[in-house]
Amino acid sequence: MTTDRSLRELAAERGLTVGAMIGPDSLRTESDHRRVLATEFDAVTPGSPLKMGPLRPSPDTYDFGDADTIVDFALANDMSVRGHTLVWHQQQPEWFETWNHSDERVREFLRDHIYTVAGRYRKKIDTWDVVNEAVADDDSLRETMWYDAMGEDYIANAFRWADEVTHADLYYNDYGGEAVNEKSDAIYDLLADLLERDVPIDGVGLQLHALFDRPDPESIAENIERFQDLGLDVEITEMDVDFYEHDAPDDPLELQADYYREITEVCLETGCDGMTVAGVNDATSWLRYYENFPELFIGDPLLFDDWYEPKPAYEAVVETLDSY
């Protein structure tokens, strides 16, 4: 490594936020997790605690314990917080399945949820992923309970409601549209239309789970720049890089490092505002426990290994920042 300075220090000098998406358990129980997170990153994203399901054990009850654990740690360590997420079609409360609701009741429920959650963290959360993954894989608007109740206006409503109770930057966040392709075209058209209607959107989050494929960095740069031309900020919000277990290359860590290096270069060259990875270390990666993913992938997608030792990917990001 060419420098003894941390990832956090180097990124700050380049005007780039570097974050990690985390859960509360390792933060509570592992001193190395807390040490590496505070030393190497200057932003955190709660992975699940701010999603509706974990927050809403019953229609009239909120449980902010896990979210507060993460937010309070961030504030104590001079880190910014990305709220994730106010509106999504997954991780909804279990009681939704039997909830007797009219379209108007769904609208009121979502409005009150956004008012309560975004309002509660008004002085603590800097950025919100207001709407997550509203565009389906066939590039149409995803049919969800929110869409069924309000049509496509649910997206504009969500941003306007959030804007009424917080001064945070408000983002649309999605996967699969990192490079210029049909899905990113659909996301672009959606956001351009919302902006034309004066909907308060500040930025777009590109998740960049480089798992099933690895989008071309040059195309990612082109995509970032066209969103910037709309007047939007752009961040990489959930990055990880992994390979199929059944078709793993001979040198996965080096190829992984190369891709992290290329994306860091893209962020620096385009003026991307931030790059967040989907976990602090490999042992806490969502790929280790999400449905069938442990059987599909090697499971080593992040910058630090199971024992919090820096990997070639970490060295690649640091060297790129140091030499830029």
How far apart are alpha carbons 114 and 258 in whole angstroms?
40
Cβ atoms 240, 277 nearer than 8 A: yes
Is 265 considered catalytic here? no
Is 238 considered catalytic here? yes
CA atoms within 13 A on the CB side of 166: 32
Residue 293 Cα distances to 51, 86, 174, 259, 308, angstroms: 21, 25, 19, 21, 22
Q: Which of the following is catalytic: 40, 178, 235, 238?
A: 238
Nearest to 299 by CA among 238, 256, 263: 256
Residue 87 Cα distances to 101, 141, 306, angstroms: 17, 14, 32
Q: Which of the following is catalytic: 133, 178, 235, 262?
A: 133
Angle (nearest 5°) at CA 304 between 299 and 309: 125
Q: What is the CA radius of gyration of the chain?
A: 19
Catalytic sites, residue numbers = 133, 238
